[in-house]
Amino acid sequence: MNRHKRKSPKHASSDRGARHNPRKETIDSLTIHFANVRGLVTNKNCAHQHLESRRPDILILTETKVSHTIYENEFYFKRYQFEQAFELQRGVCMFVKDHIPYARHQKYETFTKTAQTIVLKISLPSKTLFLISLYRSPNQTDSETMSFFDELSDKCDDIRNQHPYCELILVGDFNAHHKKWLNQ
């Protein structure tokens, strides 16, 4: 699994509507792990083992391939909140440690048959982060791809206009392979 470690302020506080930090833990750094899981149902134990052994603040999983009919509590893991945008053969989810002060912003999200995003606003004392996790299907047409990236760009612009001093982080499976990467 890829990891990204990000320094953040020492004391977490909650924002209006955000999940709060009941234990008043100090946040010295924010650790974000990412993986394309290629099926969360079959890899749930691996994901839980990773949460238990590595204990990232946030674990982002793409290509979850989970049906809408499966209940979220199937993926519950102690000391983590669970956010999802499930779509059969696609999808994205996030495990967020209980002490991380965040709120989900669905107005900035995309949910179609070929692309899904989750947008979290993480409020820390000296800065605000917007974390966007996404999955884009490689089966999108050129028109769908252009539309998706235009919409994503517009939503990022909206976030920056509403929160000019925020940090914006995009993590996910863009499925945007370049021919040179594949030696074709």
Band (89; pLDDT cuts 50, 70, 90): confident
* Average model confidence (pLDDT) across the chain: 83
Query: Domains plus CATH for the chain?
Result: 2-173 (3.60.10.10)
| Confidence class for position 112, pLDDT limits 50, 70, 90 | confident
pLDDT tier, 183 (very low <50, low <70, confident <90, very high otherwise): low
Q: Which residue has the higher pLDDT, 20 or 140?
A: 140
Residue 82, judged by CB atoms within 10 A of its CB (0-12, 13-18, 19+), counts as: middle
Whole-model pTM?
0.80
Q: Which of 111, 132, 134 is nearest to 121 (CA)?
A: 132
What percentage of the chain exceeds 70 in pLDDT?
79
What is the pLDDT at residue 42?
A: 92
| pLDDT value at 170 more than 80 | yes
CB 125 within 8 A of CB 15: no
- Are 133 and 118 within 8 A, CB to CB? yes
Contact 129, 122 (CB under 8 A): yes
End-to-end CA, the chain = 27
**Least confident residue range of 16-30, 31-45, 147-161:** 16-30
Comparing CA positions, the residue from 29, 85, 36 lying closest to residue 57 is: 29
Confidence grade of residue 142 (pLDDT, cut at 50, 70, 90): confident
